Structure 1
């Protein structure tokens, strides 16, 4: 048996032991058929707040959760974005900004109105303000899109983590 064959065998054995260990502790993949994520797929009505960030967040959430025709749950959220200058020249001109974002959310049962899951996610992104006005605006809009995507990913991850406890 060559050394590469032994490495492949050992990697396969380690992977099998890990899977067996996880199966023994009750682990089940969220995206498996019947997994926790399937409870949310096409079952959540996203209530969109106003503004560009709200539109972007709703687009990202519906992309991940699906657009429900007969939703069991309602997701209400609020997004707040703040710009902070982080690089300032000697002539007091900001050339780089951090864009911080916070999204607060609540997932409720549409039939009872009871809040089932809630929380807050936050993160940041940066953009360069160097160059023309048009370049700065384009960089700012791109940073906003990146940040909203990150916040949506975090929100969906938390919803899926709590989905096992949701009523079916």
Structure 2
């Protein structure tokens, strides 16, 4: 019978045999991107939340090798209606188009589009509904930042060359 530790060691040995290395490990490809990308400066509460999460994941770039340009578009849609025909639940759908450009260059080395959505309730007071909407937008910015970082980490081996 396998113990949990034995199973973990077995899985680790199997993954290392196939060339797998953790992206955040000491020799992982993700270390090359740590502190190497400077996102465009935030201009709104949404983009501030995006940049904060991006820098939380990859570190603040003091001497960046790359610039990250991005455009975030949102669409808010009512999803639930009560008996009085009032919308009580909204979803906010977000799309981010992003480009990664070496500092001082004009051509991009990587670009992509990520999508996500969050929802919030509009059944409380005006103040609670507004705060729920702000929180949903912040959560969406975090979700989009995490998706961009995941994509960048997946492409890290090609960027390190």
Residue ranges of structure 2 left out of the alignment (5+ in a row): none
Q: How does 1:1-168 map to 2 (within 5 A)?
A: 6-8=1-3, 11-167=4-160
Q: Contact 1:48 / 1:77 at 8 angstroms: preserved in 2?
A: no
Residue ranges of structure 1 left out of the alignment (5+ in a row): 1-5
Q: Deviations over 1:36-91 (max 9, x none)?
A: 11111111111135322111111111121111111101111111111100011232
Q: What is the TM-score of this pair, normalised by structure 1? A: 0.88
- 1:115 alignment partner, SS class: coil
Q: Deviations over 1:103-123 (max 9, x none)?
A: 111111114333122111111
Q: What is the TM-score of this pair, normalised by structure 2? A: 0.92
Q: Contact 2:29 / 2:160 at 8 angstroms: preserved in 1?
A: no
| Deviation of the 1:7 alpha carbon | 4.3
Q: What is the rounded CA distance, in whole Å, between the counterparts of 1:130 and 1:91 in structure 2?
A: 12
Q: How many residues align?
A: 161
Deviates more, 1:77-86 or 1:104-113: 104-113
Instruction: Write out the 4+ residue segments of structure 1 that deviate beyond 6 Å after TM superposition.
Output: none
RMSD of aligned C-alpha atoms?
Answer: 1.6
Q: What is the rounded CA distance, in whole Å, between the counterparts of 1:14 and 1:65 in structure 2?
A: 31
